[in-house]
Amino acid sequence: MTTFDKREQGFEAKFAHDEELMFKATARSNKLLGLWAAGQLGLSGDAATSYATALATDHLESRTIDEVLDKVSGDLVAKGVAREQVAAKFQECLHQAVQQLEAKA
């Protein structure tokens, strides 16, 4: 195996690792956002957990961040929570999720 082949394998492995980390971070941040939104909606216990789990798992591979923000914003519009607030909270949740995943590694 040449040095070039080894470098290529290294880059491929890093890309796969980064993609897996981003997938896990997105799922975890969606769940954290869901728990926060459930609290805003007055949900608790199993209802809050179900809301958060559904947000994290429903269409996970095909749902974009904008679609998640639209869903949560739509659910919270009656509570007076603006989409910008939801987006800011999502960024907090994503940062928290990445920190949690890095702490496990």
Q: Which two tokens stand for residue 25?
A: 């971070």
Q: What is the mean pLDDT of the chain?
A: 90
In order of start, what are the domains of the chain with their CATH numbers?
3-104 (1.10.790.20)
pLDDT > 80? residue 75: yes
Instruction: Please write the tens of the pLDDT for every residue from 5-40.
Output: 788 888 888 888 888 888 899 999 999 999 999 999
More confident residue, 94 or 11: 94
- Indicate yes or no: pTM above 0.95: no
pLDDT given at position 105: 67
Contacts of 87 (CB under 8 A, 6+ apart): 69
Percentage, residues of the chain above pLDDT 70: 98
Give the integer Cα–Cα distance in Å for 81 and 58: 23
Closest residue by Cα to residue 40 from 76, 89, 92, 90: 76
Distance CA 46, CA 76 (A): 19
71 has pLDDT over 90: yes
Burial environment of residue 62 by CB neighbours within 10 A (0 to 12, 13 to 18, 19 or more): exposed
CA dihedral angle for residue 8, residue 13, residue 16, residue 21, rounded to 10 degrees: -140
Confidence of residue 86 (pLDDT cuts 50, 70, 90): very high
